[in-house]
Amino acid sequence: MDVIITENIEGVSIDALSEKFKVYRDEKLWDKRLELFETVSTARAVIVRNQTKVDRSLLENAKSLQIVARAGAGYDNIDVAAASKLGIVVSYTPEGNSISTAEHAFALMLALSRKLVVAHRDTALGGWSRYSFVGTELFGKTLGILGFGKVGARIAIRARAFGMRVVAYDKYILPNQFTVTETGVELKPLEEVLKESDIVSAHLPLNQDTIGLLNYDKLKLMKKSAFLVNTSRGGIVVEKDLIQALEEKLIAGAALDVREKEPPEESKLNHMDNVILTPHVAAFTWEAQKRVVDTVVEDVTRVLHGVPALNYVNFSLPKKGLKNVTD
């Protein structure tokens, strides 16, 4: 088999891929570990989203594998170091869903600030409690962005249009970079961003530096009137600490599109009126998914035809059998 698709990834470009290569598609394969191992063992390419755990053991078992293509911007579910040691290309789609994610984050900010979800629920049940749902404006507020990459920069542009002051934390971004100078964002240490912001929006990758970053001590730094929005990775926020902070009214509310465990288990978060939960759908618009699928199919096709990938994490062409390879 040439290409294995382990999750729900569809589109015209996927259909076109099937005309060029032998493609096996099973949107539940990610959840069938033994079958996944067996199926991937002879594959030349694997296309995944975020649910497939592409670890060292899976990669070592895939003797013919040339590329792991991630349909999305993050790749924390892929052991890139192991793939690199084995000479396997890892590609992703850094641009495809950034607009949709930025828009979703803003939708959550507005929904929290204007109490839209609880107001809708009450009104739909026959209520008309106008003074129970007095909200706050975004205008004049400070937005703190954690992670000033492709999504964070787009959020900053939209926030300025709303008349917001924007501060950001990103230890890899320099003050003279184009996205900073053109958006007027103030780069600050994490603790200062948390203290100054009326809304904190997280857009960080999940790695050893960020896992559990927003714990109880960090949440205590936020204003009691502040909201937390997370559309990046669930592991950035310690959920039990967030629940405690909400119960103690250390922050005013939270909106989570991502969770520590997905799908999540029963949680107190499910029953809080100042919490909005969505099922990891920030990137799920028709436009974004078309861009993502088109991009991932393009790189898989290129690699299988011996042409360098365009959106690669480690190197552009497979280097099977080589140790400690670099591009």
Q: Does residue 233 have an active-site annotation?
A: yes
Catalytic site residue from 10, 60, 191, 262:
262
Catalytic site residue from 233, 259, 291, 302:
233
CA nearest 9: which of 60, 65, 69?
A: 69
| Residue linked to tokens 């390419």 | 45
Total residue count of the chain as it appears in this document: 327
Sign of CA dihedral 164, 170, 174, 177: negative
| Residue linked to tokens 């997370």 | 230
Q: List, as one string, the DSSP characters of 44-107.
A: SEEEE-SSS-B-HHHHHH-TT--EEEESSS--TTB-HHHHHHTT-EEE--TTTTHHHHHHHHHH
Q: How far, CA to CA in Å, does 84 sit from each of 41, 92, 119, 215?
A: 17, 14, 51, 32
Half-sphere exposure of 292 (CA within 13 A, CB side): 26
Sign of CA dihedral 188, 190, 195, 200: positive
Q: Does residue 130 have an active-site annotation?
A: no
Q: What angle do CA 10, 300, 152 make, to 5 degrees?
A: 75
Catalytic site residue from 49, 70, 154, 280:
280
How far apart, in whole angstroms, are the C-alpha atoms of residue 226 and residue 9? 37
H/E stretch holding 183:
helix 178-183
At 322, give phi and psi (nearest 5°).
Answer: -95, 145
List strands edge to edge, sheet with 199-202.
Answer: 186-187, 165-169, 142-146, 199-202, 227-230, 253-256, 275-277
Active site residues: 233, 262, 280
